Structure 1
């Protein structure tokens, strides 16, 4: 059986790796697949597989910025176009969401307000009613977020799926089976708390109250279900 590929685009903070594992570990757990059905590829150093060699792909989050135009990220954008052209199921998470948007002629940049972090509610749009990944989920549910860059303008072919007051482009789809989500379905409440702790100075600089953010954190089962739903689709 062809694998589901997790494209690793960076590492989380060292203390999170010690406690929770890295991004690819969180995604693997969320997919609920057997270990031999998942292949992890490091976008910074490994060759990216040909689309006909995989049955689906997930592009992880990263501490890098899409706007930096790093060589490996530009290579990843070209690969993303190929995967979408071949109609291979693809999911981009946070940084991955932004990679897909930029690859398909959207615009990515720093959010004009700044940092979005913690557990927040998103609103699903009517376009989700027949979306293979989102249909059947509640119209509003909580998600974990930690990002300062956003998709400022969607690609021309994108269908907007979800938003909230802070971020108008929380999720989108291109074609039938390529999705980007700005939030983190792979993260749990403990990891989100640790992100706030690691970014405490950025949180305060954004005029956010760390104590209030901690109080608002809760588990996000509907968000987490998206990874298993994606695995079922592929």
Structure 2
């Protein structure tokens, strides 16, 4: 039976993990109850990647690593992504996963020229979202949680940009019919976002950022979380269709 795989590509801060859990838990919790078996794989620590034909869908989480470091586990994951695209496996990349999807398919990833985007911010959807199955049910502007220093500097050939804001021109994109990347964190809630700002307070201070003000501006982002729920629905529907076509 095909599974929905959560590909865990890093570990959060120790205190955050102790109090709130880790990337895979947040992602599973945000997805909620689904009709397909869900399995988490910690590839950073050696978990083997499944064959594409064993995947009903794949979510690649965020990470504290940098895509441009080309770590061995990350290179292996990057080389695996085209097999998912070829097999039309629904794929959802979050932050690091978003950047890795872009890099694996001919996009350019690097440090954002304006530095780190962090906190609860607003993004705007592009007109292309009207017909996009992941975003078409969402309002044209909504709040999201962010924490990233690297970015997709240029999208892969054929990719469609779906969302942006004044800081980040490529907050979401689609490649083909069933692969998406989002720079924001739909799996975060307010407590997770506040914890991330607190953990990076000293770094933020060195660049003149006021972590207390960023924390005070944190708000819940239920609409952003809907993207993961919508993705799970896409996975379920495709799995059902594929099974019907076999029979």
Q: Mark yes or no: TM-score above 0.5.
A: yes
> 1:202 Cα deviation (Å)?
1.8
Structure-1 residue corresponding to 2:47 = 46
Please give the residue correspondences for 1:125-164 in structure 2 after superposition, counting only pairs within 5 Å: 125-164=126-165
> 1:207 Cα deviation (Å)?
2.3
Q: Is the 8 A contact 1:114 1:206 kept in 2?
A: no
Aligned residues: 234
Structure-1 residue corresponding to 2:241 = none
Structure-1 residue corresponding to 2:245 = none
Is it true that 1:107 corresponds to 2:98 in the alignment?
A: no
Please give the residue correspondences for 1:28-39 in structure 2 after superposition, counting only pairs within 5 Å: 28-33=28-33, 37-39=37-39
Q: Is the 8 A contact 1:61 1:93 kept in 2?
A: yes
Larger radius of gyration: 2
> 1:35 Cα deviation (Å)?
9.7
Does the C-alpha gap of structure 1 residues 162 and 84 become closer, same or farther in structure 2, counting only changes over 3 Å? same
Structure-1 residue corresponding to 2:56 = 55
- In the alignment, structure 1 segments of 5+ residues that lack a partner are none
For normalisation by structure 1, the TM-score amounts to 0.97
Is it true that 1:198 corresponds to 2:183 in the alignment?
A: no
Once residues 157 and 182 of structure 2 are traced to their aligned partners in structure 1, the CA distance between those partners, rounded to angstroms, is 17
User: What's the C-alpha RMSD, in Å, of the aligned pairs?
Assistant: 1.2
> 1:206 Cα deviation (Å)?
2.9
SS of aligned partner of 1:55:
strand
Q: Is the 8 A contact 1:173 1:179 kept in 2?
A: yes
Q: Is the 8 A contact 1:26 1:186 kept in 2?
A: yes
Please give the residue correspondences for 1:60-139 in structure 2 after superposition, counting only pairs within 5 Å: 60-139=61-140
Structure 1 stretches of at least 4 aligned residues deviating more than 6 Å after TM superposition: none
- In the alignment, structure 2 segments of 5+ residues that lack a partner are 236-247
Structure-1 residue corresponding to 2:18 = 18
Once residues 20 and 98 of structure 2 are traced to their aligned partners in structure 1, the CA distance between those partners, rounded to angstroms, is 22
For normalisation by structure 2, the TM-score amounts to 0.92
SS of aligned partner of 1:186:
coil
